[in-house]
Every structure is written in C-alpha cells, then in structure tokens.
Structure 1
C-alpha cells in the first residue's frame, strides 16, 4: 500500500474516501466501546453484593465471552458477503444472505444454550471457580446463557447492517441496550432483591430487546425487497462453511493471547502478582486502543466488499491505501498519547508502587507497536471484506507457529514482563504485519463480483 495506489485520485476523491471511511468508522467505534460497558455495568452493580458474587460474574463472563467471541464470524463474514452483493447491485441477494446469517445465529445459539445450562457448574469449575465461587457463577451462567441466542442474532444483524453501509443503527441499539441493562440490573438486583440472578435476568432482557431492534430493521429491509424470511438450508450451510475459516482465524488470535498470559504467569523475574497485575492493566489499555483501530477495520470490511462486488479493483486499491494511511496516522497518535501518559496511567488502576513503575516501560512498548497494529487491523479488515478467510486462517496458524517459540524463549532466558511484551509486539504483531502486507501487495485477494 503506497501513495502510488492513489496517485490517480485527486484531493477531492481522497476527501470522498475519507468521508466514506469515517461515516462508517465513527459509529462503529462508539458501538464497540459500548460493548464492554455492558459487562462493566454488571460488574459495578454485582460488585456491591460481595466478592463471591463479583468473582462468580467474572467466571461466568469468561465462558460467555468465549462462546460469543468464537462466533464473531457471524458479523464479519456477513458484512463481507452482504457488502459484496450490494456492490454488485443485488440488494435482494444481499438481504437473502443476511437472513441466512441470522438463522445460522439462531441455530448455533439454540445448540449451545441447553448444554451450557446443564453443564453450568462443571464449566464454571473448569474456568477456575472454587467451592466458594462456583455457586454464584453457576447461578449467573444458567440464566445468562439464555442471552447467547439474542447476542448471536445481534452479531449477524449487525453484520448485515454494516454490509448495507449502516453502522448507526447498531450504535443506537447498543446505547438503548446498555441503558436498559443498567436500569433493569439495579431494579432486579436491589429493588427486587434477586441478587446475582437479577443481574443475569436484566442482561438477558436487554439483549433480547437489542436483538429484536436490529433484526426488525433487517426484516423490514428484506420485506421491502420481497425477500423470503423462512430458513433456507443451502444458504445457511453456505454461511456456516464460509465462517469456518474465520473461526480458525479467531482461535489463533485467542490462543496467542492465552500463551502470552501463560508466559507472564511463569516469569522467573520479579513478583508474579505484580507481573500479572501490570499485564492486566497493560492489556486493558491495549484492548481499548484496539477499538479505535477495529472501527477502521469494520469500515474496511464494508467498503472492500462493496467495491469488489462492483468489480472495481482500482477503487479497492485506493480505499485500502487510504485506510492503511489512516491506520498508521491513528497508530502514531495513540502511541504518542499512550507513551506520554504512561507515568500517570498506573494511578488510575492501582496504588501499588511496583505495578505503577513496571507499567511505564510496558506501556511504552505497547505505544511503539501502535503504528504496526494500525496496519494489521486495517489489512485484516480489508481481507475479511474481500472474503479471503482461508488465507487469514492459514496466516493465523503460521503466525502462531512463529510466535509461540519466541515467547517461550523469552521466558526460558529469564526475561521479565517487558521482554514478554517486546516479544508480543515484535514476534506476534510483527508476524501478522508481514503475513498481511504480503497478501495485500498481491492480486490474489482481488476477486470481483457477487
């Protein structure tokens, strides 16, 4: 991606591209930020019940987030396929694929819900809940898992709307769901005296409402195009097959993060509690900054799919180059901000002097990696939008193969937390950068048509 890719584009054209990018990215960013606020509100409300209940919420949250996280392909894959059809001028076909995606979400949700309800206690213990925490965790999980189906429907419907170049409606649904979640949690947990069970019930009701809002918008659009709403088995199977590669991609990312955390727990240098606490804070900051970059990636999915569907590879290259440019610019900006604030950020999270001091060099490493992350997130979104899931899956596997020995070596040589983060920045993010830029420079992903 070089300026040469847009040399035939005038300043006016570039402004037009920027307008398209930010029209999608800004609402997407706000919606992404709203997602963790859901769990944050639950934590704040349940936390006042006691430590046991808060720990139980944390354990149940790990199980639920893992399930929903693995199904993110319902949003990403649907965005790409719908956008491609829109670019080809086939709005009815786009909505047909969107309806198939929502039905697939319902099927997965129903298949997952019953086993998790039955196995709620063993799953809670498998995640690490002891006798004291297993009770609250099981109570919350058995009820909250009823929200998995609406959550997956929200993912699929959001993917459809993004493909239709609409990121505002998911933002509205996220805001409404968050407000309702807070009101219901307060009323049920304390007003009705239901405790942690009330928090789970309130969250499920809010999720059902948000899913209904998003699905209604998609269904209304489908009816306007005379698209049938009944399940279409071949279409659902096609959506499932297309999602397999993205599931593999997501698994490789999650395994890499788990390996990093595992490495931190086995550091021979320094106090383990200090290392883990610092790592948790640093990773929280990294995740928040990732929302900014992921918003551009979401715009990349929608715009890339649309331009390839229209058969316009020149516009695809121009859009990609412009988004990569923005990824670097924002990566530099967030990196400078993170580095400059690193001496003060620790005080927001802890009073432990050792953690606050260790956080400074770790945050600086994370800051230096931000421009690389900007390119990685954008190109990941571009290739998802192009439907290049198979390459992303294999790229994730090879990145993991390269990264795991490096982080193991860093621990074996007695490196501390800073060295683990250097390995993460250079080994993992660097490997992803190479894998994605090599693909983007080729023409193999520029497959046009619906």
Structure 2
C-alpha cells in the first residue's frame, strides 16, 4: 500500500489544502487546524460580560463548505514569519440574483480572497478561552481585519481564532496510552530516551537520561551512608531524609514524564490525524446510483491510503509504518509510525454540497444513509456509521515528513472492531454534531 493523497485543514471545518508532503508534529501536520471560526451570539453570556461565542462546525453551518484554503509557505529561514494562508470564498451561483452594482472582475476577486499569516504574532492579540467538548484551551482573536471579512461572507458576525502554541486534552480513551493501557515502565522507557533525529550518538541518547537519574540516586544514597558513618545523623534520620528526597525526585520526574507522554490535540475534535482507505471510498461511490462519485474530502481525511485489498479493512489497523521514497520502504525500523486508536463515527457532514453550501439532494445527499445500512460496526456508537480511523503519531516521527507515494505497511492489527468505551462516549456523541 502507499499514500495517495494528503490534506491539511488550516481552518477547522473549511475545505482543505491538498499537499504532496507534510511535516509531522504531535498535533498533526504542520498548520493543520491552527485556526477555527466561532459565531457571535448577541446578548450577554452566563457571566454577563458580553456576547457568547459558539464553535462552528460544518454539519451545523454547511455554508463553511464554500470556503477553499491554500497554503503558501515561504522559502528560506524566515518561513515562519511570512508563510500565509489564502482563503477564497466561492458563493453559490444563482441565475436569479445579480449584483446591483457594477464592479470589475479583479475587484470582485479581491473581495472574495483573504490572506492570513500562518504564524501570527500573538503578543498583540486578545486571548480568550475556547472550550471544545469540555476540553478547554486558549485561542487568540485575530481581530477585526479578519473577523469582518468572514462576517461579510457568512452574513452574520464571526470571530477567527488562532491556536498558537496552546493544546487541549484528548477525549476519552482515544489517546494511545489509555487505549493500550500502557504501563508506567513502558511510558518511562519511551520518554527517557532522547530523540536522535539522525544526529548524535545513538547509545548516548539512549542512556544519558537514565544514567543522570541513576547518578542522582547514588549521590543520595552516598550522602545517607556518609551521615551515618560520620555520626552526623542517626540512621533513622539519615534514611528518612534520603527516602523523602528520593520520593520527591520520583514524584517530580514521574509527573514530568507522564506529562510529556500525554497525547495532546489542538482545534481538531478528537485526534491529530484521520486515516482513510481509497478502497473504502470507492466502495461508498459504488453505492450511489447514476455513477455519482463521492468527494473523499467530505470524510475530512489527513492521510489517504491506496492499495488495500478489501474495503474497510482499516477498521482493524492498529499501527502503520510509513516509509520515505528515498529509503528502502516502510517497516518496523521506520521512524514514522501512525498509531490508530479509534473509529471515526460519521454525521450529516457527509451530505454537505460544497457547491451550494447546503445539505445535498439526491444521491450526493444520501451518503450517510447509505453507510447506515452496514457500517454501524462500533458497539459503543450503535447509531452512527464508521468510516476511517483516528490516529496519533509515534514519538520518533516528530519533525519527519511523509509524502504522497510513500509506502505504507500494517505493523499491527486488532482482532475485533474497536469499541468506543464509556469514558469516550462524550467524544463520539460530539462527533455526531461536529463531523470532526
């Protein structure tokens, strides 16, 4: 199998940017879901301090499908300062509505095109709390220049929020450590090894942190022994102080290790990546009458894999290795591992017509219904069909890049369908209305 398509969604729920290669971060592809839109609801909020902001998702606001995004990355060392996002608004065509004022094509084009810095300076932006599915984070109001443009397109006031360096907790049991019930030793083993990223001595990177901790422990024991030998402290006091020091050291390091290992997300609803199979997309298209082909971007994937032998075999994928074009290929030694932890249950977003900004009619508007017949395979989400898998990045993959054409190998499979557990019930219930 290999990667056939890659997508980034710079602004949540708007249409994606198709890319040929993507840089991997803990939060997904670089620039993925770095922004989101919130509708301004007039009136005072529960604190009596002004209007309420409501998170916008395409099933509830299908007009979001009228916005196309494009990333223009700068070349050279200053790319973080000048890379930009181009948003184009494509209003639905109508034969019975015409502009009352004459304007040139260039003026009309400029009015429907907006440039946004991909890494804006947050020092001058107003921070505010963005809560997604009871998981809060901090966003930054991009200001009137951008808010007014989107508001004019939507026809109601909205706010464009930027994530910055902030993150959120992962819902339910989707995080790899929770899904796999990882032991504390496995977590420590992963986190105490320094990432090499192709640099430095492999043995030094592997043993530097454990050796340093061992050195601290031996020093504490040596101090205790010295106090007892010299009679400076009684054995009980020396041992007690040493035990207390080691307990504090263990507690602090354990907190730091677990915090580093904890999976985090940004403005994505549930996971950094969504993986789907082209074979499964073709299966859905085959269910539609009249030769209608489903637009796979309605499934909002980040990674599309082609070459699967049967449709929906990805239901059982638990771990994938992705190999670079320049290397021998994917395998156990590949740095890029995608950990597939849960099903993506689907909602009305599959029925949105991107050309009209409304729910589709005919076959194009029946995708969800077609899947309801046989794709309700998750016992934890009995009333929703499953399509695609939520995925997290293995630790060594941070900073790497994956490309269209890269080989994909299944390293690990589950024997049964993934079940959305009770602790994750909030997650899938939210998906019913957000569409990821």
TM-score for both structures, normalised by structure 1: 0.29
| Larger helix share, 1 or 2 | 1
Structure number with bigger Rg: 2
